[in-house]
Structure 1
Amino acid sequence: MQNRKKVNLVWFRNDLRVRDNQVLTNAMKSNMPVIALYAFDPRHFEETEYGFKKTEKFRAKFLIESVKCLQQKLKDLNIGLYTSTDTPEQALHQLQQDFEIEEIFFQTEWTSEENKVQKNIENANPSIKLNSTYNQFLFHPEDIPFNDFKQIPEVFTQFRKACEKQSQVRAELPVPHAQDSSYFIDFKAKMPSLNDLGLDNFKVDSRSAFPFEGGEKSAWGRLSNYFWETKKLQYYKKTRNGLLGTDYSSKFSAWLSNGSISAVSIYHQVKKFEKEIKKNQDTYWLIFELIWRDYFKYISLKHGNSIFKLGGILNKDYKWNNHEKAFQQWINGQTPENFVNANMLELKQTGFMSNRGRQNVNSYWAKEWQQDWRKGAAYFEAMLIDYDVHSNWGNWMYNSGVGNDPRDRKFNIKRQAERYDSNGTYQRTWLQENLF
Structure 2
Amino acid sequence: MNNLVWFRNDLRIQDNHSLKSACDQEGDVIAVYFFDPRFYNKSDFDLDINVTLPFGKTGKYRAQFIREAIADLKAGLEEHGIPLLVFNDRPENVIPRLVQEYDITDIYLQKEWTRDEVEQENALGKALSELENKPQGHRVYDQFLFHPDDVPFENWKQIPRVFTEFRKKCEKQSEVRDIVDIAGYKQDILKVEETEIPTLPELGLETFTKDTRSAFPWTGGEISAWERLDHYFWETEKLKFYKKTRNGLVGIDYSSKFSAWLSIGSISARQIYWEVKRFEKEIKKNQDTYLLIFELIWRDFFKYVSLKHHNDIFKIGGILHKDYEWKSSERELKKWINGETHEPFVNANMKELAATGWMSNRGRQNVASYWSMHKEQDWRIGAAYFEHILIDYDVHSNYGNWMYNSGVGNDPRNRTFNIQLQASRYDGDGKFQRLWLQEGLF
TM above 0.5, yes or no, is: yes
Please tell me whether residue 120 in structure 1 is matched to residue 127 in structure 2. Answer: no
**1:180 aligned residue:** 187
- Separation of aligned partners in 1, 2:57 and 2:191: 33
The answer to whether the 8 A contact 1:35-1:185 is kept is no
The amino acid that maps onto 1:160 is R
Please name the residue that 2:388 is paired with: 382
Which stretch shifts more, 47-56 or 194-203? 47-56
Q: Which moved more, 1:97-106 or 1:158-167?
A: 97-106
Q: Structure 1 length as normaliser, TM-score? A: 0.97
What is the CA deviation profile of residues 126-156 of structure 1, one whole-angstrom value per residue up to 9, with x for unaligned ones? 3211100000000000000000011000000
Residue 156 in structure 1 maps to residue 178 in structure 2: no
Between the aligned partners of 1:144 and 1:368, the Cα distance in structure 2 is: 37
Q: Displacement of 1:62 after TM fit?
A: 0.2
Q: CA deviation at 1:101?
A: 1.5
From 11, 21, 30, the equivalent of 1:26 is 21
Q: In the aligned structure 2, how far is the partner of 1:296 from the partner of 1:331?
A: 25
2:102 is the counterpart of 1:104: no
Deviation at 1:88, TM superposition (A): 1.3
Q: Given residue 164 of structure 2, which amino acid in structure 1 is its aligned partner?
A: T
User: Which residue does 1:8 correspond to in 2?
Assistant: 3
Q: CA deviation at 1:246?
A: 0.5
In 1, distance between residues paired with 2:70 and 2:284? 35
Q: Hey, what's the Cα distance between the residues in 2 that align with 1:187 and 1:80?
A: 9
After TM superposition, list the pairs within 5 Å mapping 1:58-73 onto structure 2: 58-73=61-76
Alignment of 1:210-289 (within 5 A): 210-289=216-295
User: How far is the alpha carbon of 1:177 from its aligned partner?
Assistant: 2.6
Shift of 1:179: 3.2
* 1:332 to 2:338 alignment: yes
Match of 1:416 in 2: 422
Q: In 2, Cα distance between the equivalents of 1:154 and 1:297?
A: 13
Q: Which amino acid aligns with 2:143?
A: Q
Counterpart secondary structure, 1:132: strand
1:287 positional shift: 0.2
Match of 1:83 in 2: 86
Show the counterpart of 1:166.
173
- Which of 48, 51, 55 aligns to 1:52? It is 55
1:41-79 CA-partner distances (Å, limit 9, x unpaired): 111111334121211100000000000000011111111
Letter in 2 for 1:104: I
| Residue of structure 2 equivalent to 1:299 | 305
Equivalences for residues 119-138 of structure 1 within 5 A:
119-126=122-129, 127-138=134-145
Give the whole-Å Cα distance in 1 for the aligned partners of 2:319 and 2:397. Answer: 14
* Aligned-partner Cα distance in 2 for 1:397–1:17: 30
1:206 is matched with which residue: 209, 212, 216?
212
Could you list the structure 1 runs, at least 4 aligned residues long, displaced by more than 4 angstroms after superposition. Answer: none
- Deviation, 1:231, is 0.5
Secondary structure at the counterpart of residue 38 of structure 1: strand
Note if 1:348 corresponds to 2:343. Answer: no
1:146 matched to which residue of 2? 153
Q: Distance in 1 between matches of 2:150 and 2:89?
A: 36
- Residue pair 1:254, 1:386 contacting (<8 A) in 2 also: yes
Paired residue for 2:400?
Answer: 394
Moved more, 405-414 or 232-241: 405-414
Which stretch of the first structure deviates more once superposed, 279-288 or 44-53?
A: 44-53
1:186 Cα shift?
4.7
Q: Is the 8 A contact 1:28 1:179 kept in 2?
A: no
Q: Which runs of 5+ in 1 are unaligned?
A: 1-5
Is 2:80 the partner of 1:74?
A: no
Most deviating of 279-288 and 28-37: 28-37
Q: Which residue of 1 aligns with 2:36?
A: 41
The CA distance in 1 between the partners of 2:211 and 2:378, in whole Å, is 30
Classify the secondary structure of the residue corresponding to 1:102.
Answer: strand
Secondary structure of 1:415's counterpart equals helix
- RMSD of aligned Cα (Å): 1.1
1:308 paired to 2:314: yes
Q: 1-side partners of 2:285 and 2:94: how far apart? A: 48
Contact kept in structure 2, 1:11 and 1:38, CA below 8 Å:
yes
Provide Cα deviations, 1:337-356, integer angstroms capped at 9, x if missing partner. 00000000000000000000
Provide Cα deviations, 1:354-390, integer angstroms capped at 9, x if missing partner.
Answer: 0000000000100000000000000000000000000
> More displaced, 194-203 or 321-330?
194-203
Distance in structure 2 (CA, Å) of the matches to 1:86 and 1:180: 28
* 8 Å contact kept, 1:214–1:255: yes
Which runs of 5 or more residues in structure 2 are unaligned? 47-52
Distance 1:434 1:91 in 2: 56
**1:372 is the counterpart of 2:367:** no
| Residue equivalent to 2:49 | none
Alpha-carbon distance between aligned partners in 1 of 2:191 and 2:19, rounded to the nearest angstrom: 17
Tell me, yes or no, if the aligned pair for 2:99 and 2:105 is still in contact at 8 Å: no
Amino acid at match of 1:85: N
What amino acid maps onto 1:91 in structure 2?
Answer: V
For 2:24, give the aligned amino acid: K
Name the aligned partner's letter for residue 139 of structure 1.
F
The 8 Å contact of residues 194 and 201 in structure 1, kept in 2 or not, is answered as yes
Alignment check: 8 A CA contact 1:20 1:172 kept: yes
Aligned length: 430
Aligned equivalents of 1:199, 1:422: Cα separation in 2: 37
CA shift for structure 1 position 8: 1.0
